Chain A
Amino acid sequence: MGTLSKLKNKLLGTDIDYSEEFTDDYVEIDTKKDIGRKSKVVVRPFIISEFTDVKDALDALREGYTIALINIKPIRDRDIVELKRAINKLKKTCDAIEGDIAGFGEDWIVVTPSFAQVYRTTETEEVKE
């Protein structure tokens, strides 16, 4: 194959051998690809260290397809008053989106949009303001 032909194939991409890329044991997933806003329900963890951290969770919940798992341990250890404010805010937003909110364990709160409900057992607690 001449030099010019090789150069032409390289520029047009016709000389690329794909057989080695698509083997059975390795598939590369593009994690940055946008899967679309409403294609899947998202279960997303949040860590609340201060009152302003709750804003991200609230914005995600208002989108309507995010189930929020919120770790309240840092804010609980820091300031109980801020914790109460944050939970109050979460409850108000939960009411606005007609969702459900419950605590499980000492450090976690789950907030769901309207399409989901938290199953109540003896291990889940009602979230009190």
Chain B
Amino acid sequence: MTEEKIIIVLQRLCQIEEDVSVPKNVRFRIKNAIVALEDNNRQIDVKIDKALEELSEVDNDPNIPVYTRTQIWNIVSALECK
């Protein structure tokens, strides 16, 4: 996964994180995923793995809006794609 794709993923995550209709706990996890992807001290694969872990916990939340869940799935697909 290239840095450009990471930047695109980060932009999408930031959009979700700024969406006030998304529950706070979900936004907190999204924020953790953003922080994980922005960590320059780790290799890219490790950053993606950490972000995927946070996003998988978001997916398990029953309160997440349907359209946000779809966005999260798209982001997870993009991160898992090599």
Contact = CB atoms under 8 A, between A and B. Distances in A.
Nearest to B42: A62
Interface string B37-56: 00000110110111011000
B45 A55 contact: no
A124 interface: no
Interface in B47-82: 48-50, 52-53
A84 to B, nearest CB: 15
Contacts of A58: 49, 53
A95 B53 contact: no
A71 interface: no
A92 interface: yes
A47 interface: no
Chain B residues touching A, range: under 10
Main secondary structure of the interface of B (DSSP, over half): helix
A58 B36 CA distance: 14
Contacts of A49: none
A95 B50 contact: no
Nearest to A92: B49
Contacts of B50: 62
B53 A96 contact: no
A55 B53 contact: yes
A97 B53 contact: no
Contacts of A55: 53
21 contacts: A55-B53, A58-B49, A58-B53, A62-B42, A62-B46, A62-B49, A62-B50, A89-B53, A92-B49, A93-B49, A95-B45, A96-B43, A96-B45, A96-B46, A96-B48, A96-B49, A97-B43, A97-B45, A97-B46, A97-B49, A98-B45
Interface of A: 55, 58, 62, 89, 92-93, 95-98
